[in-house]
Chains A and B, each alone.
Chain A
């Protein structure tokens, strides 16, 4: 067996031991503990408050706009990270380029702000 596969064997054995440990402890508990279910015990725990409603409730539509704005600006960071790793090498040229990039992004954010998208009410 090659060294490459042997190292995976170790991972496999560790995995098996892990699964076996969890199984043994949970199984022991199941055998040893008394079993008396009541309604209050099976209910979902919500900080002591009695749970109400369905768990598939619809999120408010307003979250969508915030989520969308977040995704946009979050993803644009993929261009900033590579630039940041080589900041010194790119020098002033890189700085100006990034300033232009961020200015255009900022226009979008300013637009959203002026149109009142960022207000909750």
Chain B
């Protein structure tokens, strides 16, 4: 093997566009800084780490904004690393979601006395993996980015070391995640064998030849999609999600259910649209089944949950189904499917993070995430009740909130395909939205109309960081719905970005 490496006689120094990799390098530098602070100051540095982490995420936004203003697509390493509008939108989303997670974590981690320096260091490296994933257009880069974002997440899920539930959450997440990534890797190795290159663009050329696909390509594509189906918690690969969400620390749950899921989707989008777009006869039926099964099973199981976090986990499975739906007709509608999924991801991030922020705020008083403990919330925390209603109705897809617009785009994409499978999928989305409305509305009704259990109506003291997290997510949720151009503006640039197709 080494002899093979040594055959490459003339080494040409790769041209590095420092501006294009600036976001990744900034995050890396801040991640190293958090570790150095810990090494130098030990316990004395703990107070600062949460602020350093939030500063890191805000500073990383600067190169993203300048790259967006520049507007030029940048390609590096022979096409393995691409910065286009799509990548920038996703990177910005990961950074904002990461910032909100830091806000959610600040009090939780400090009050729980949970190894703060390591917590924020790992959080930053996980976000670094996600930011890298948005630009990855090569099997190796996708794989490294995936592991960079997953491995810290396994540790974060197990963060409460002495708590058996947290142990179990981490263990289940780890075993499922590692198994899925091993299967995905096996698929990647077959795709590499079929194409003779790790570049997604080359793979697309090799697998998209007319006629029936070779066995290697079919197995490769299916294994890779199954690997990411675990990551986005699509049925029947969702079994880890409810358990992990319930057992993990709540800010970590918010991170997993939003950022980690979005990263899985970003990888899936990269692979589908750049890697094997021409092989729609293989991936479309598979995605169709995953999408239809996820929404239906996710919603039906969510109906009988008594714990809000578990309910949000199953509702997340259903939401993953909605997000997969446009991809099942990707070959017919092209970039419209991409924009629908990206829009849904942006809106979902805002509203789901918001819902978890409320869970955190209420749990500060009730120490519980049971749905019953939310009863009568309006009596003593009207502000939280209104915000929670906004997030729940947005998740259900009621106008004029963001979720409505996202669902509308998904419906538009599947109907636009003008195929029987697309229309049937549209019916699935519609029926499931009605089912979902029932359990979201049930919580809303409990909060507004019923009395608090055991009549405890002392007000909740919400710390400033949680208030700002709520303000950011609520503002985004409402803004996306009231003024859709905010997200559809991205659509236009995305089309110009011309990912795959």
* Residues of A near any B CB (own CB < 8 A): 81-82, 85-86, 89-91, 93, 104, 107, 110-111, 114
Shortest Cβ gap from A106 to chain B (Å): 10
Decide: A111 and B6 in contact? CB cutoff 8 A. no
Stretch at the interface among B35-43, B176-184, B214-222, B359-367: B35-43
B162 within 8 A of A: no
CA A111 – CA B36 in complex, angstroms? 8
Among A85, A104, A107, A110, the residue within 8 A (CB) of B5 is A85
Interface of B is mostly: helix
Q: What is the bound-complex CA distance between A111 and B6, given in angstroms?
A: 35
Q: How far is the CA of A30 from the CA of B88 in the complex (A)?
A: 78
**28 A–B contacts, CB within 8 A, in A order:** A81-B2, A82-B2, A82-B5, A85-B2, A85-B5, A85-B6, A86-B5, A86-B6, A86-B8, A86-B11, A89-B9, A89-B10, A89-B11, A90-B11, A91-B13, A93-B13, A104-B32, A107-B32, A107-B35, A107-B36, A107-B39, A110-B39, A111-B35, A111-B38, A111-B39, A114-B38, A114-B39, A114-B42
Return B76 CB to nearest CB of chain A, in Å. Answer: 15
Write the residues of chain B forming the contact surface with A, with a CB cutoff of 8 angstroms: 2, 5-6, 8-11, 13, 32, 35-36, 38-39, 42
CB closest chain-A residue, reference B13: A93
Rounded to whole angstroms, the CA-CA distance of A91 and B14 in the bound complex is: 13
Shortest A111–chain B CB gap in Å is 6
Contacts of A90 in B (CB 8 A): 11
Beyond A104-B32, A107-B36, A114-B38, 10 additional contacts (C-beta under 8 Å) are A82-B2, A82-B5, A85-B2, A89-B11, A93-B13, A107-B32, A107-B39, A111-B38, A111-B39, A114-B39
The 10 A-B pairs at the shortest CB distance, nearest first, are namely A89-B11, A114-B39, A82-B5, A93-B13, A107-B35, A110-B39, A85-B6, A85-B2, A111-B39, A90-B11
Using Cβ atoms and an 8 Å threshold, which residues of chain B touch A89? 9-11
Task: A93 to B10: give the CA distance in the assembly, Å.
Answer: 14
**B35 cross-chain contacts in A, Cβ below 8 A:** 107, 111
Q: Which residue of B lies closest to A94 (CB)?
A: B11
Whole-angstrom CA separation of A89 from B6 in the bound complex: 10
Measured between alpha carbons, how far is A85 from B4 in the docked complex, in Å? Answer: 11
Question: A residues within 8 A CB of B11?
Answer: 86, 89-90
Specify which chain B residues have a CB less than 8 angstroms from the CB of A111 in the assembled complex: 35, 38-39
**Residues on the A chain within 8 Å of B6, using CB:** 85-86
Instruction: Quote the shortest CB–CB distance from B11 to chain A (angstroms).
Output: 4
Chain B neighbourhood of A93, CB < 8 A: 13
Query: What CA separation (Å) do A88 and B5 show in the bound complex?
Result: 14
What's the minimum C-beta distance from B51 to chain A, rounded to whole angstroms?
A: 21
CA distance A85 to B39 in the complex (A): 34
A114 contacts which chain B residues (CB < 8 A)?
A: 38-39, 42
Collect the chain B residues with CB atoms within 8 Å of residue A86's CB.
5-6, 8, 11
CA distance A40 to B329 in the complex (A): 78
